A and B are shown apart, each in its own frame.
Chain A
Amino acid sequence: MIKTNFKFSGVRGLENAILLSIFLFLFNLIFPVHDVFVLALIHEGIVFFTIYFLYNYLHQSLVNKLDAPLSLVLNIGILGALLFFILSIANSAYEADINGKISFNFFNSLLSILLIFLFIASIVYIFTSFRELFFLRQKKDPSTYFNTMLVFFALSFFSNILLLIDPNLDYPHSAFYVVSIVLICLNSIRVAWIAFLTKKQKYYLLGLSIILSIVFGLAFSLLIDSKIVRQMIYTFSPGLHTVFSLVMIYGTIYFGVIFFITLFHLPTAEAFDRKAQEVASMMDITKLITQVFDFKELADTITTMTTQACNSDSAWLVTNTNNGIELNSVHKIGYVDANAVSNRLLGSGDASFEQIEVIDYDSLFGDKKFVEHHFHSVAVAPLTMHGKINGYLFTARTRGNSFDTEDRKSLQAFAYYAAVALENAMLIKESIEKERLEKELDVARDIQRKILPAVVPSTPQLAISALFVPAFEVGGDYYDFFELDEDNLGFVVADVSGKGISAAFIMAEVKGIFESLSKIVQKPSELLTKVNGVLKGNLQRRDFVTAVYGVINKKTGKMNFSRAGHTPSVLCREGKVERLQPPGIGLGLDFTNSFSNSLKEMEIQLKNNDIVVCYSDGIPEAKNSLGEDFGYEKFEQIISDNCGKNLDEISNLVMQDLSLFSKDHPQHDDITLVLFKWKQKQ
């Protein structure tokens, strides 16, 4: 029943160990003395497996302590000291007693068994801790060495039994024991984890290890020398005594080794600390780069870390801009000084450092004290991205040695990170700017869409078709119709110079002006002159508006119009096209009399099936992939070829030809096409 419960795994280690301990306890109560071979063998077996299961259990529970080797060492120390304490008490107490005469009464044997359990638990805990320390920070799997040692521990444990058969058979035990010690020595050398401790921890460990080495040494000597202790444990179980002594030897040797190795590590402890800190700050910075959008904030971190990593007194970071250099961050140096030094070194942006360089400050500037700080040497690293230098990271020392290779490497690394961060920040800025522009364009498109008329005021006699195709960058085209009175229809086709939101706003302004003036002024030339006058105060010098304004009498078909710098209109009569280009300069070009003087009016009496076309320069100036213009001729040809078709068909044909022509070229300007067709009353 019980046997089936013993699974030789660590899973139920604790239960098995407790079960065996109870078994062991009962066994010892029944057989206080077990010098018969069979009894001794069974007893040893029970002791061994108690230790084995306890070891398995502790080994599992200690795994999560691996991050803090020092606390592990401290635990070992406390238990070691406890063991030593108990051993010494036991030693002195029994010696004070009746000089080695031990009576095996019930109380004594109970006490000794409890003590034995305490010993077992302690040494197993200590040994398991050794095991964890042994495996700590090992790159290759060293379990073979350790397991070999375990095997020899077990052999030493059981070889004691042989003495019961023949007292002369002690050499196997001695041999195993010696081999175990040799293996302990070999395994004690694996103390790589010491290197990863900080300087402070190393000092701590140094003190602790020498004390522990001595404590374990003394405990071992007590175990061997003190008759009473030896007798107590040995009579209980010779194997336990062996393991106990082996663990004590392990402790003595291991902590001795730790002491010396820590001692040798001390001189490099500081350098190691620095390197570790560098690695940590590099990791921080990598994290920062992806999180921080504000370059200045990151630059501050970089300069601070640079001074730490390079062990320098100051650091500052500059970026190249269009007009020279810009100071982004300073650490332990004033803005003015940093600026002065960088300007001295970089000249006025002409000089550049392609790679990291260390400058002997004194030899360069002599005793000239142009800044408050007097530096001994300055190191500068370029922030290079895609072969372009975007800035520099400086670091400077006021005294001491110049920068060595390690310092340069650190500086280079930080400069590289700064370059990446700078690139990131610029990309983010660009994308925000792009988004802003796109939003702006959306607003402009929205304005334009709302400004243009939703329906065309066609009549049975006057067919009207209007087509508008906005460019990606809103162009500023505008067309509109005004019902002036029962008979007269005013129309305007205009194009505002420039693009985007500014063009859209001018367009809105122009619409307002035309809308209000068209109700007051009938004559097209007069109206355009008035519009020009209103625009005088409202237009920037560089902006202008071209427009065609006309009035059609819906009853008679008489059309009157003027052109202010706009693309000429086209009249198609019986398959022949005629360019209607009355003189006139663009609105906003001139605010003197030259404008009104230049402006002429044109009057046309429309005949049946006459087509009048007004359009914006988006049509003739549409480009193909070779950069050639669509041109006026091609456009007029389409009109004349299709004169007989209805207006929507004609505008569709124009758009078809246009998109064919410029199929590989994005439309860069708005396209407006307004057509009128006159049907004479029969």
Chain B
Amino acid sequence: MAEFNVNLRGVGSVSVIDVKGYLDAHTAPELENVFNRLLDQKQYQVVVNFDDLKYISSAGLGVFMAYVETMRENEGDIKFSNMKENVYNIFDLLGFPILYEFFKEENEAIKKFSGPEQS
């Protein structure tokens, strides 16, 4: 029913995950597979591009929570970009913006990784 697509690409040392469609309990394992692959390859700097995501459920949010700690322990992070307003509202309601960094554009998120960590 609900379609979901996930695509992984590398921009420099940063891995960008494009998510598309509906991310819920049924499609979350696909995204988990991608994160597991990243862990295997020791890629800890991740930007998730939400440009084509239409819907995210609590199980979808859980995926990021499950991996963010490992990324941060290894001097990486999961950052979010290109989020539509309705999707952002879900994150916002839960208080994600306090714990995660959100960017309008993917570039900014990538830059944040490569840039000197002054702040």
Which residues of A line the B interface, CB within 8 A? 495, 497-499, 540-544, 546, 564-568, 583-586, 588-590, 594, 598, 627, 629
Q: Quick check: B55 and A585 within 8 Å, CB to CB?
A: no
- 8 closest A-B pairs by CB: A585-B95, A542-B62, A497-B58, A542-B66, A565-B94, A586-B94, A541-B66, A565-B95
Chain A residues, CB < 8 A from B6: none
Q: Quick check: B95 and A598 within 8 Å, CB to CB?
A: yes
Beyond A568-B93, A585-B96, A590-B99, whether A627 also contacts B61 by CB under 8 A is no
Chain B residues, CB < 8 A from A566: 93
Name the one of A495, A544, A564 contacting B65, with C-beta atoms under 8 angstroms.
A544
Which residues of B line the A interface, CB within 8 A? 25, 54-55, 58-59, 61-63, 65-66, 69, 86, 93-96, 98-99
Q: Quick check: B95 and A589 within 8 Å, CB to CB?
A: yes
Q: Quick check: A567 and B58 within 8 Å, CB to CB?
A: no
Docked Cα-Cα span, A586 to B99, in Å, equals: 11
Q: Quick check: A594 and B98 within 8 Å, CB to CB?
A: yes
Provide a sorted-by-A list of 8 A–B residue pairs whose CB atoms are within 8 angstroms.
Answer: A495-B58, A544-B58, A546-B93, A585-B95, A585-B99, A586-B95, A589-B95, A589-B96
Chain A residues, CB < 8 A from B58: 495, 497-498, 544
Docked Cα-Cα span, A564 to B94, in Å, equals: 7
Chain B residues, CB < 8 A from A541: 62, 65-66, 69
Docked Cα-Cα span, A585 to B58, in Å, equals: 14
Docked Cα-Cα span, A553 to B99, in Å, equals: 34
- By beta carbon, the residue of chain A nearest B62 is A542
- By beta carbon, the residue of chain A nearest B70 is A541
Chain B residues, CB < 8 A from A586: 94-95
Docked Cα-Cα span, A541 to B78, in Å, equals: 15
- Minimal beta-carbon separation of B24 from chain A (angstroms): 8
Chain B residues, CB < 8 A from A598: 95, 98
Docked Cα-Cα span, A590 to B86, in Å, equals: 23
Name the one of A497, A546, A583, A585 contacting B62, with C-beta atoms under 8 angstroms.
A497
- By beta carbon, the residue of chain B nearest A632 is B89
Residue pairs across A and B with CB atoms within 8 Å: the count is 60
- By beta carbon, the residue of chain B nearest A669 is B57
Docked Cα-Cα span, A540 to B95, in Å, equals: 18
- Minimal beta-carbon separation of A538 from chain B (angstroms): 15
Docked Cα-Cα span, A590 to B72, in Å, equals: 13
Docked Cα-Cα span, A583 to B94, in Å, equals: 9
Chain B residues, CB < 8 A from A588: 65
Chain A residues, CB < 8 A from B98: 585, 590, 594, 598
Q: Quick check: A544 and B54 within 8 Å, CB to CB?
A: no
Docked Cα-Cα span, A598 to B92, in Å, equals: 12
Chain B residues, CB < 8 A from A542: 59, 62-63, 65-66
Q: Quick check: A497 and B95 within 8 Å, CB to CB?
A: no
Q: Quick check: B63 and A567 within 8 Å, CB to CB?
A: no
Chain A residues, CB < 8 A from B95: 564-565, 583-586, 589, 598
- Minimal beta-carbon separation of B25 from chain A (angstroms): 6
Q: Quick check: A565 and B65 within 8 Å, CB to CB?
A: no
- Minimal beta-carbon separation of B99 from chain A (angstroms): 5
- By beta carbon, the residue of chain A nearest B63 is A542
Chain A residues, CB < 8 A from B62: 497-498, 541-544
Chain A residues, CB < 8 A from B96: 585, 589
Chain A residues, CB < 8 A from B54: 627
Chain A residues, CB < 8 A from B59: 497-499, 542
Docked Cα-Cα span, A499 to B55, in Å, equals: 17
Docked Cα-Cα span, A543 to B66, in Å, equals: 8
Beyond A497-B62, A589-B99, A594-B98, whether A629 also contacts B93 by CB under 8 A is no
- Minimal beta-carbon separation of B52 from chain A (angstroms): 14
Docked Cα-Cα span, A584 to B86, in Å, equals: 19
Beyond A541-B65, A541-B66, A544-B62, whether A498 also contacts B94 by CB under 8 A is no
Docked Cα-Cα span, A543 to B65, in Å, equals: 8
Docked Cα-Cα span, A585 to B61, in Å, equals: 13
Chain B residues, CB < 8 A from A498: 25, 58-59, 62
- By beta carbon, the residue of chain A nearest B2 is A627
Docked Cα-Cα span, A540 to B63, in Å, equals: 11
Q: A542-B65, A589-B94, A590-B99 are in contact. List 10 more A-B contacts (CB 8 A).
A: A498-B58, A498-B59, A499-B59, A542-B59, A542-B66, A544-B58, A546-B93, A565-B94, A584-B95, A598-B98
Docked Cα-Cα span, A664 to B84, in Å, equals: 26
The residue in B59, B62, B69, B94 that gathers the most chain A C-beta atoms within 10 A of its C-beta is B94
